[in-house]
Chains A and B, each alone.
Chain A
Amino acid sequence: MTAPVLADALGPRARRRVALASVLAGAVLVLLVVAVVLRLQDTGQLDASRWRPLAEPSTARFLLGGLVNTLKVALIAMGLAILVGGLMALGRLARNGPVRWLSGVYVEFFRAVPLLLLILFSALALPKYGLRLPAFGYLILALVAYNSAVLGEIFRAGILSLERGQTEAALAIGLGYWQSMLFVIIPQAVRRMVPAIVSQLVTLLKDTSLGFVIGLSLQDRELLRRARDLGEFYRNPLQSLVVVAVIYIVINFALSRLARWLEVRQRRRYSAGAISVAGVEDLAVVTAEAGGRMGGS
């Protein structure tokens, strides 16, 4: 934990006061925890019989399967959303009027609508109009529609955040529009956007839990739905949901940390002034460096 911003280098009196406040606050927090534990005990929620089923290998496998389904849906949806979102960002920046307008409508509409509504629509309405998908396909479709709109805006912001000099330099050395986008703009924009993309992945991972509203067959059920199944079977909804919440917290906390780490690493690298575009042809590296120098001066 970093030092508190507002109270650096306390004097002796303030230190005594803080120490006193710490003891008091600590005591209150401990009492709070004790109260919760006692409450759990009193209502019989700490009984081993309610927790033990969750530790059995068969249950663990059942939950693990749910986690695999959750991750599978999240990763497929994320991949597709990145693809569609990228196209939308290019569309909104295109020179062609109707293309710009259409992708604008797409992004603004899907960003403004609750995901749950999209999921319900996708699962209830689309089959009526003859679109048949495997059950979790509808979930993925809704997730892609929503997240591609959000990602489209992230991508657009990333592209716009680059200095104009980048595009100008690329055009100046004779690259076409698509060439400058592909070799100069997008590689740099992507690197700036990685932290935002990872945090969107956290959101998406949490959103897959909405999939439990649509009727998935037993083997397709994601983590939350399986937790509900367990809770009903063993009559321990509190315990099963707590376990699942902990699983989500661990995964998402790790992902958030990853995003933070990427961001810090990136900032450090930019401030060091070294621009190295990995995995792109020499030409683009040269162009990017030239552009960077121009944009910077």
Chain B
Amino acid sequence: MRTTVVLTLTSFAAAMVVGTVVAAFRVSPVPPLRAAGAVWVQMLRNTPLTVLLLLFVFGFTKIGLQYSFEVSSVIVFGAYTSAFVAETVRSGINAVARGQAEAARAVGLTFPQILGIVVLPQAFRTVVAPLGNIFIALTKNTSIAAIISVLELTEVADRLNNATARPIPVFLGAAVAYLVLTLPSGFAFGWLERKVAIRR
């Protein structure tokens, strides 16, 4: 269970950073960056996470990218989730009133300044709830690390089941453990959403 938590938190942190950068690329005035952002998002979003994980672990080792299974999982989960974060943040950016960016431009801010100081802080507020959904989905997705025998919740349950041959209590216990993880994070994001909501 600790592994699941650690995997989730580190991957989510990575995904937030990369996803925000990619979202910035996608709305930037520089065409090559926009294209690169779009390719990143479409490629990662439309490939099954399982394929990505296996490709990274078994394929990329052939070109010298070899990491422990845990690190590989974080890289793959982070990259996959960043595509969804990018799309969410982008929708948040689009939801920020146009006048905000126009006003910022009128006082002479450059694009990175407009985005970083004016638009992004407002964008994040509006997308707290969808980001929470992404976080919960990621918590569940970390179970896929079980296929490369990272000892997280699902893998532990699978091994316990093999050892004890009592599938119902074992898998039910694992399911409850996931609930214990996802329900509080749902509440936490709900709280955060109310806290940062823009009062009108």
- Contact partner of A124 among B28, B143, B167, B182, CB < 8 A? B167
Q: Which residues of B contact A160 (CB under 8 A)?
A: none
B50 at the interface (CB under 8 A from A): yes
- B105 & A120 in contact (Cβ 8 Å cutoff): no
Known: A25-B30, A25-B33, A228-B54. A6 touches B101 (CB 8 A): yes
Closest to B162 in A: A124
- Contact partner of B167 among A5, A121, A206, A238, CB < 8 A? A121
B115 at the interface (CB under 8 A from A): yes
**Interface size class of chain A, counting residues whose CB lies under 8 Å from the partner chain:** 35 or more
CB distance from B32 to the nearest CB of A (A): 4
Q: Which parts of A214-245 form the interface with B (CB within 8 Å)?
A: 224, 227-228, 231, 237-238, 241-242, 244-245
- A120 & B158 in contact (Cβ 8 Å cutoff): yes
Q: Which of B11-19, B68-76, B172-180, B191-199 contacts A (4 or more CB under 8 A)?
A: B172-180
- Contact partner of B34 among A4, A10, A14, A39, CB < 8 A? A4
Interface residues of chain B: helix, strand, loop or mixed (majority) = helix
CB distance from B91 to the nearest CB of A (A): 11
- Contact partner of A209 among B35, B50, B178, CB < 8 A? B50
Q: Which parts of B88-119 form the interface with A (CB within 8 Å)?
A: 93-94, 98, 101, 105, 111, 114-115, 119
Question: Bound state CA distance, A112 and B179, in angstroms?
Answer: 6
Q: Which residues of B contact A207 (CB under 8 A)?
A: 48
* Extra pairs beyond A114-B143, A120-B158, A125-B168 (19, CB < 8 Å): A1-B31, A4-B28, A6-B27, A6-B29, A7-B111, A21-B33, A112-B140, A113-B179, A114-B141, A116-B144, A116-B147, A121-B171, A124-B161, A206-B47, A206-B48, A212-B147, A241-B51, A248-B51, A253-B42
The 7 closest A-B pairs by CB, nearest first: A125-B167, A238-B59, A114-B143, A252-B46, A206-B48, A209-B48, A114-B140
Residues on B close to A: CB < 8 A? 27-36, 38, 42-43, 45-52, 54-55, 58-60, 62-64, 93-94, 98, 101, 105, 111, 114-115, 119, 140-144, 146-147, 153-154, 157-158, 161, 165, 167-168, 171, 174-175, 178-179, 182-183
Provide 24 A-B residue pairs closer than 8 Å at the C-beta atoms, listed in order of the A residue.
Answer: A1-B34, A4-B28, A5-B101, A6-B29, A7-B114, A29-B32, A40-B63, A112-B178, A112-B179, A112-B182, A112-B183, A113-B140, A117-B154, A117-B157, A117-B174, A121-B171, A209-B48, A209-B50, A209-B51, A213-B147, A237-B59, A238-B58, A241-B51, A249-B47
